[in-house]
Amino acid sequence: MKKLKLTIILMLFICMTFSQSKDGKMAKYDLVKCSVEWENICNRYFKNGKNALSEPEQTWFFLQTTMASIDNGGFSSLFYNSDADDYDDIYKSAIRLKNKVFIGLLDEARKLFSEEEIPKSMEKRNDIMGEWGDSEEKILSECDEKYYANSAIIEDELIAYLMENGVIEKIK
């Protein structure tokens, strides 16, 4: 199972490296050059958990997988799938990145859950989301639009953060 999840994450990473916002802006860095580093981080994460990663590596792992999930099906995909099991780590990673738009979107989506925190159980999240109506779907749709309009900027900021923290070499 871990091997399958790693393969899926690696495939999503390759798709993410060509991030493009809705207005056609491309991320200015080419993450394909970092695929070896990414694979190493994924292997260590799936073998030994998040504590096997430095804080900047955790930031990369949680934000890259989150962005891939959103790119693959919007904010609803983030919560319908297992990615949101790690919502607290995703949020802490967004705080470290200091991208106010992304933090705001995570906050906005978070408010849709009436509980104090997002359920760690995918099944429980799916039950809650199954009861949502048009107003919740509209909020998620608005989050999607704001995210896609800013995704290239978010990715560029993530790459700059990774370079500043020595996780990846300077890339162009």
Q: Pick out the chain residues at pLDDT < 50.
A: 4, 14-22, 26
Whether 172 maps to a domain, the answer reads no
Total domain count for the chain? 1
- The span from the CA of 97 to the CA of 95, in Å, is 5
Domain limits at 18? 2-164
Whether 169 maps to a domain, the answer reads no
pLDDT reported for residue 143: 97
Whether 22 maps to a domain, the answer reads yes
pLDDT reported for residue 169: 80
Whether 122 maps to a domain, the answer reads yes
Whether 64 maps to a domain, the answer reads yes
Q: Which structure tokens are listed for 5?
A: 């999840």
Q: Is the dihedral of CA 71, 72, 77, 81 positive or negative?
A: negative
